[in-house]
Amino acid sequence: MITFEGVTKRYGDGTVAVDNLNLQVPTGAITVFVGPSGCGKTTSLRMINRMIDATEGRILLDDQDVRKIDPPTLRRGIGYVIQQSGLFPHRKIVDNVATVPYLLGWDKKKARDRAMELLERVGLDLKMADRYPFQLSGGQQQRVGVARALAADPPVLLMDEPFSAVDPVVRTSLQDELLRLQAELQKTIVFVTHDIDEAIKLGDTVAVFRVGGHLAQVADPSTLLAEPADDFVEGFLGRDRGIRRLSFVSAGDLAVRSEAVVPGWSVALDEDNRPLGWRPDGDGAGLQPFGTVDLKKDSLRAALDAALLAPSGCPIAVDGDGRFAGVVTREALDEALTRATRGPSDG
Amino acid sequence: MNWLFDFFGNGDNWSGSDGIPMRLLEHIEFSVVALLLAMVIAIPLGLLIGHKRRGAVLVVVTANAARALPTLGLVVLIVLLVGVGTTWPVLIPLVALAIPPILVNTYEGIRGVDEDLRDSAYGMGLRGGQVLMKVLVPVALPLILLGLRIAAIQVVATATVAAYVGLGGLGRYIIDGLATKDFPSTIGGAVLVAVLALVVQLGFSLLQRVLVSPGVSRRAKVR
Ligand SMILES: Nc1ncnc2c1ncn2[C@@H]1O[C@H](COP(=O)(O)OP(=O)(O)OP(=O)(O)O)[C@@H](O)[C@H]1O
Ligand SMILES: [Mg+2]
């Protein structure tokens, strides 16, 4: 757990970047700092590993005041990823990843083995290991940055807009990769972004900052979307909060009918029991489009999307292998949506 | 061309205390000693002010002002101060000549390293000295070597002043040749200096290849 206790940062020129911040960052979860440019996210993050020292207040890392720890020692125990990757251009990728293990005095072989293991973990081709940073794309460099931060297996990871310099497709895959890694590793992660969608996607907890380093709201994404604390947060969250919130409601509660028919339509299946389309009753018109939802892992948003894709208006439920599991009627969908809006659910 | 042959083809010019090998050796000795002295002073200073970012203006301004010192005037001045019979009247002006390019390039090289890189090095937990030696120096090395190369070439070209105060080196051929109207000797001396400068240039290119990481010079091949 990382605890901010009345933390204020005043820069030399008088700018108050962070003003009396009180916040707890829970262990083993992703906490996102989000807010408009200049609101003090980076400053708050960098006070944790003492790249910046607070003017007032304390930051506790598992009950220990970070000010009592020598900065290099503190930093070797905290992974740090920045936007521009900051890889050492003169070192090969494998040695870049092994930076902290080398500093900690691991023997060379062990450090390199560990580096190779991490390169694999973050989804990089191992033939990249002997390249230099300039020979990698921006997205690949960011993966290396993540691997480097994880090399000495620190319990805490600080990430400052790590994915904002790459294109949207790469960004999405890096985000997915981080979530997958986090499911395995359960690090305490503080993630800074100015992108609310990224915050909502990645955060177990989202801390919304407003300019001047004040906290506007701290909540899980679903609560944030459903109950923004004020106009500022609401404005910052943007449009379609209702729909976006459905991403956090499981589709698991939907009532499913096992018959492959609804009034006017029936589901056409192949020999493997996978849906092919909706067949209208009566004349021999062709198959119509459909949408599926996997109740075990999809959200209510996916169910609604599946409903909107089909002229029958009903999502087709499938199992993990994509085989027909039943049909969700409009009534069932309606009930689930009503339940979902009755209060934030953590799905 | 004939003059060149007169000079280099003359067997007498290849032996004895005023033969080409000896003069070349003397010339190289002055140059190497001066360059080493300048390095010992300028590199640590350049690293320090580049890394700490303090005192830079003062040091760089002084160094650049030193560039304007007339070398020959300095030689004469030091002869007047310490007298003949030592090599200091040559060494001190050469060192003064070599310091500015080494100092300024080292300083600029270190200072110019990308801020994010510096930041990430500290963020990984490197200490100040480690950041300097393990990150800033390797990355700034091309510029540092460039400063050394410029200094070395200037020193080699200027070490001819030794002859003005009765010391050896290739300057002897030039000065004595002028005095006795022995033009082949003057031209031969100048050619030797030029060749030496070329060798220095070549030497530094090789050094650059060996010392600078392919990741910095960007000449690594993708495997
Ligand atoms: N070294 C500094 N000296 C003076 N003021 C600073 C310094 N660093 C940051 N600030 C100011 O402190 C405030 C917060 O800056 P910070 O970098 O923490 O913002 P941020 O939320 O990370 O913004 P962004 O999304 O643009 O990265 C800003 O007003 C900024 O101008
Ligand atoms: Mg920032």
Domain span at residue A332 reads 251-340
Give the pLDDT band of residue A345 (cuts 50, 70, 90).
very low
- What percentage of chain B carries pLDDT values higher than 70? 98
DSSP class per residue in A27-90 = TTSEEEEE-STTSSHHHHHHHHTTSS--SEEEEEETTEEGGGS-HHHHHHTEEEEETT----TT
Of A68, A212, A66, A78, the closest CA to residue B120 belongs to A78
In a domain, A192, yes or no: yes
Query: Distance between CA atoms of A111 and A98, rounded to whole angstroms?
Result: 6
Same-domain pairing of A25 and A132: yes
Give nearest CA residue, ligand 1 atom 17: A42
Q: Which two tokens stand for residue A117?
A: 């293991």
Nearest CB partner across the interface for B123, out of A49, A77, A130: A49
From A220, A248, A276, the end of a domain falls on: A248
- In tens, the pLDDT along B112-127 reads 999 999 999 999 999 9
Same-domain pairing of A207 and A255: no
Give Cα separations from B4 to A7, B20, B192 (angstroms): 79, 13, 11
- What percentage of chain A carries pLDDT values higher than 70? 99
For residue A225, give the 3-state DSSP assignment: helix
Which atom of ligand 1 lies nearest, measured to the CA of A161? 27
From A194, A217, A248, the end of a domain falls on: A248
Q: Are A196 and A35 in contact (CB under 8 A)?
A: no
Place of tokens 């360059």: B35
Q: How far is the CA of A178 from the centre of ligand 2 (A)?
A: 20
The single-letter code of the amino acid at B196 is L
In a domain, A18, yes or no: yes
B124 and A74 in contact by Cβ < 8 A? no
Which residue of chain B is at minimal alpha-carbon distance from A126? Answer: B223
Give nearest CA residue, ligand 1 atom 30: A38
Give the domain B2-222 fold: MetI-like fold (1.10.3720)
Query: Distance between CA atoms of B119 and A87, rounded to whole angstroms?
Result: 11
Give the pLDDT band of residue B10 (cuts 50, 70, 90).
confident
Give the pLDDT band of residue B72 (cuts 50, 70, 90).
confident
Count the domains in chain A. Answer: 2
Query: Distance between CA atoms of A319 and A293, rounded to whole angstroms?
Result: 8
What ipTM was predicted for this assembly?
Answer: 0.88
| Domain spans in chain B, listed from the N-terminal domain onward | 2-222
In a domain, A347, yes or no: no
Query: Distance between CA atoms of B174 and A171, rounded to whole angstroms?
Result: 68
Same-domain pairing of A296 and A206: no
- In tens, the pLDDT along A197-253 reads 999 999 999 999 998 889 999 999 989 998 999 999 999 998 888 888 888 888 888
**pLDDT value for A347:** 41
**Contact residues, chain A, for B110 at CB < 8 Å:** none
The pTM for the full model equals: 0.86
The partner residues of A209 in beta bridges, in order of sequence, read A215
**pLDDT value for B1:** 63
Same-domain pairing of A17 and A81: yes
Give Cα separations from A46 to A43, A75, A140, A191, A329 (angstroms): 5, 10, 24, 11, 51
Query: Distance between CA atoms of A117 and A114, rounded to whole angstroms?
Result: 5
**Contact residues, chain B, for A137 at CB < 8 Å:** none
Cβ-based burial of A113 (10 A; exposed 0-12, middle 13-18, buried ≥19): middle
User: β-strand A265-269 against A275-280: which pairing, if any?
Assistant: antiparallel
Write the CATH number for A333: 3.10.580.10
Instruction: Name the residue with higher pLDDT: B85 or A311.
Output: A311
Q: What is the 3-state secondary structure (H, E, C) of B75-143?
A: HHHHHHHHCCCCCHHHHHHHHHHHHHHHHHHHHHHHHCCCHHHHHHHHHHCCCHHHHHHHHHHHHHHHH
Give backbone dihedrals phi and psi of A221, rounded to 5 degrees, phi first: -55, -40
Q: How far is the CA of B54 from the centre of ligand 2 (A)?
A: 27
Place of tokens 């970070």: A66
In the predicted structure, residue B218 carries a pLDDT above the cut 90: no
Nearest CB partner across the interface for B120, out of A72, A76, A86: A86
From A248, A282, A300, the end of a domain falls on: A248
Give nearest CA residue, ligand 1 atom 27: A37
Same-domain pairing of A240 and A211: yes
> How far off is chain A from B152, nearest CA to CA, in Å?
26
Helices (H), chain A: 41-48, 71-76, 93-97, 99-103, 108-121, 138-150, 168-185, 196-202, 221-226, 231-237, 241-245, 300-309, 330-341
Same-domain pairing of A299 and A164: no
Same-domain pairing of A278 and A301: yes
